[in-house]
Structure 1
Amino acid sequence: MGTKLRHGFRVESEEYAEEYRQELGLERHAPLSPRILCEHLSIPVHDLSTFPGVGPIEKAFFAGPGNSLFSATTIPFGTRRVILHNDYQHPNRQPSNIMHEVAHIILGHPPKPPLIGESCRNYDASAELEANQLGFTLLVPKVAALFAIEGFSSLAEAAAYYGVSLKLLTHRVQITDARRWAINRARKRT
């Protein structure tokens, strides 16, 4: 049986999305920049391309053939954590990479070494599922998915507005049932 979100987690994620937008003076459906949220939460974000702890050979690898092998990670730094992300990846992918790591920090997931044993990935399926759900919801909460349906001529246009990939926006529209919500709202207006 696969990993499932704990009861009420989707609602909790929507509440976080609304709370942070409110703190930043944004409309409930407005785009939320991961970098602005990180600044608000005092979480430093470092680009792989300029990070001094990564050598030129490694940077070339992650810019080229290994591009899909590393998206982002949180690094413990004293009592704080910093985010290191792969800025060589497509610009539409980078916001979700950063927001995924922000979600780990918000949720208090303990940092773990990326590998254990003989190159085995240290993977906590439950923590990753929660970070995906919260990260995606912070970027495109339910009201934003509805706005994407009602306020744009295409999902591609809405994805550009929210600074996310079309795949992520489509996922959020589907999971929130925003199309049916928009149809029901249109019926009520007529």
Structure 2
Amino acid sequence: MAFRHRRGFIKESEEYAKEFRQELGLTDCSPLTALELADHLSIPVWELTKHPNIQADVVEHFTNGGQNDFSAVTLNNGTYKEIIHNDSHHPYRQNSNIAHELAHIILGHPPKPPMLKDGCRNFDKRMEREAHDLGFTLLVPKPAALVAVEDFLSLDEACQYFHVSEQLLEFRIRKSDAKRWALNRAQKRSGW
């Protein structure tokens, strides 16, 4: 069975993206990086290789052979939160990794230990999907997806403008229905 968000989640995600851009004096379709948003929300973000409390052998593992084993994590201590992300990833991937962690914080997801007692990963599908989709929406809300379709000659140019991967941008264009929206606008302008 396909995953379905709780009622109103998609609208709520778009509203978060719009609200944060307004607070920062940006337009609805302006690019917004996760680091800019974290700074606005006063959430410290550490690169894995620069965090003072992470052992060198751990850094070595996650930046070389185990690079795909760790993207980012939010550390919680009461109301204090900080994000550590794997800075050996491509900058666009780092952007989405941090946005994903910010989404967990914005949505008020409760912190959980990363592992269960049996050694399996502690993974809540609903919370992870919400963080995934809100994180992507924060980076490319619906108006930005429309701009990507209408105003750029190539997907690559739009990716550079929004600081996101092609996969993320294609996902947001598809989920926001930006291509159909752009087609309808073009037909209306042409009097069709």
TM-score normalised to the size of structure 2? 0.96
Q: How many residues align?
A: 190
After TM superposition, the structure 1 = structure 2 runs for residues 61-76 of structure 1, keeping only pairs within 5 Å, are: 61-76=61-76
What displacement does 1:78 show? 3.8
Partner SS for 1:74: strand
Residue type at the aligned position of 1:6: R
What displacement does 1:143 show? 0.5
State the match for 1:28 in structure 2.
Answer: 28
What displacement does 1:2 show? 4.6
| 1:110 to 2:110 alignment | yes
| 1:43 to 2:43 alignment | yes
* Equivalent-residue separation in structure 2 for 1:134 and 1:73 (angstroms): 16
* Equivalent-residue separation in structure 2 for 1:127 and 1:119 (angstroms): 20
Residue type at the aligned position of 1:103: A
Partner SS for 2:91: coil
* Equivalent-residue separation in structure 1 for 2:177 and 2:40 (angstroms): 30
Unaligned runs of 5+ in 2: none
* Equivalent-residue separation in structure 1 for 2:79 and 2:166 (angstroms): 36
State the match for 1:15 in structure 2.
Answer: 15
* Equivalent-residue separation in structure 1 for 2:142 and 2:182 (angstroms): 11
What displacement does 1:77 show? 2.7
State the match for 2:5 in structure 1.
Answer: 5
Residue type at the aligned position of 2:102: V
Partner SS for 2:109: coil
> What does the per-residue CA deviation read over 1:63-88, in whole Å, with 9 as the maximum and x for residues that have no partner?
11111110001101342111111111
Percent of aligned pairs with the same amino acid? 54
What displacement does 1:177 show? 1.0
After TM superposition, the structure 1 = structure 2 runs for residues 127-166 of structure 1, keeping only pairs within 5 Å, are: 127-166=127-166
What displacement does 1:27 show? 0.8
Q: Note the aligned Cα RMSD (angstroms).
A: 1.0
Partner SS for 2:167: helix
Unaligned runs of 5+ in 1: none
* Equivalent-residue separation in structure 2 for 1:113 and 1:2 (angstroms): 27
> What does the per-residue CA deviation read over 1:7-60, in whole Å, with 9 as the maximum and x for residues that have no partner?
110011000000000000001000111111111111111110111221111111
Residue type at the aligned position of 1:156: D
* Equivalent-residue separation in structure 1 for 2:48 and 2:181 (angstroms): 40
TM-score normalised to the size of structure 1? 0.97
